[in-house]
Amino acid sequence: MRTALTKAKMDRKRPLRDQIYEIVRDLILTGKLGPGDVVDEKLIAAQLKVSRTPVREAVKKLSDEHLIDVVAQSGTRVALIDRHEVEQAYVIRRALEMESAALAAKNMTTAHADLLSDILLAHGRAIERKEYVLAIAMDDRFHRTISEISNLPRLWRAIEISKAQLDRCRYMMLPRAGEAEATLEHHREIIRALNSKNPEKARTAMGQHLERSFANAAKVLDAEAAKSTRG
């Protein structure tokens, strides 16, 4: 964590709490801060050369998203990956993204189709090069672009918050043979459905994609739980 914090560059023109939130959130989602790890507010403030106040505000926001547990007299730690939290995240994300896809289908243009195809190509190149963190970023960009095409720009923020618990599982799954390639095919199916301009086809394609993604995440959680039991 120290290295990541040292490399982080703060933009004094932006609210510090928002930047600290983004930095620490990324560390948690990528597993650089693992479940149960201590979140040392004093260390974070020292490494980023900021006061404790914006750090405390960022930690509060992460606590509200159930990514950090703040327990009086016990310290602040990264929340454990809870199966029930992941299931809730999936239900919320699926509902929001299926509606996003349905709305986007009505607004699809050739330019939109080209943009999604370009993102898909960049995603594929990242996978070929085994640049899995970049691949996940391209995956997110694909879904974010669909929400933008739906003409409901605030929708992505709601999706982003709801999918955080799923993202933690997603990083745990990499690299798993065939997983990334399957995602590319799911995205191709979604593009075809969007290009049909049929909201129901787009809704179904997105729902099936997210169902398969959750099924894979559940397998990872079950495997981790089995390890813990044996241990």
Domain boundary among 44, 78, 112: 78
My answer on whether 42 and 151 are in the same domain is no
My answer on whether 107 and 198 are in the same domain is yes
My answer on whether 24 and 61 are in the same domain is yes
Query: What is the domain range of residue 100?
Result: 83-230
| pLDDT given at position 142 | 97
7-22, pLDDT tens digit by residue? 778 888 899 999 999 9
| pLDDT given at position 23 | 93
My answer on whether 147 and 200 are in the same domain is yes
My answer on whether 12 and 71 are in the same domain is yes
Residue 172 confidence (pLDDT) above 90: no
Domain boundary among 36, 53, 78: 78
62-73, pLDDT tens digit by residue? 999 999 999 877
Instruction: Judge contact between 78 and 67, C-beta under 8 A.
Output: yes
Residue 176 confidence (pLDDT) above 70: no
My answer on whether 6 and 46 are in the same domain is yes
My answer on whether 173 and 135 are in the same domain is yes
My answer on whether 190 and 103 are in the same domain is yes
**SS3 sequence of the chain:** CHHHHHHCCCCCCCCHHHHHHHHHHHHHHCCCCCCCCECCHHHHHHHHCCCHHHHHHHHHHHHHCCCEEEECCCEEEECCCCHHHHHHHHHHHHHHHHHHHHHHHHHCCHHHHHHHHHHHHHHHHHHHCCCHHHHHHHHHHHHHHHHHHCCCCCHHHHHHHHCHHHHHHHHHCCCCCCHHHHHHHHHHHHHHHHHCCCHHHHHHHHHHHHHHHHHHHHHHHHHHHHHHHHC
My answer on whether 72 and 89 are in the same domain is no
My answer on whether 164 and 180 are in the same domain is yes
C-alpha torsion sign, points 114, 120, 126, 129: negative
Residue 112 confidence (pLDDT) above 70: yes
Look at the chain and report how many structural domains it folds into: 2
pLDDT-derived band at 177, boundaries 50, 70, 90: low
| pLDDT given at position 162 | 87
Q: Please confirm whether the linkage preceding 175 is cis (ω < 30° from 0).
A: yes
| pLDDT given at position 231 | 59
My answer on whether 107 and 197 are in the same domain is yes
CATH of the domain at 157: 1.20.120.530
Q: pTM to 2 decimals?
A: 0.85
Domain boundary among 21, 47, 78: 78
CATH of the domain at 18: 1.10.10.10
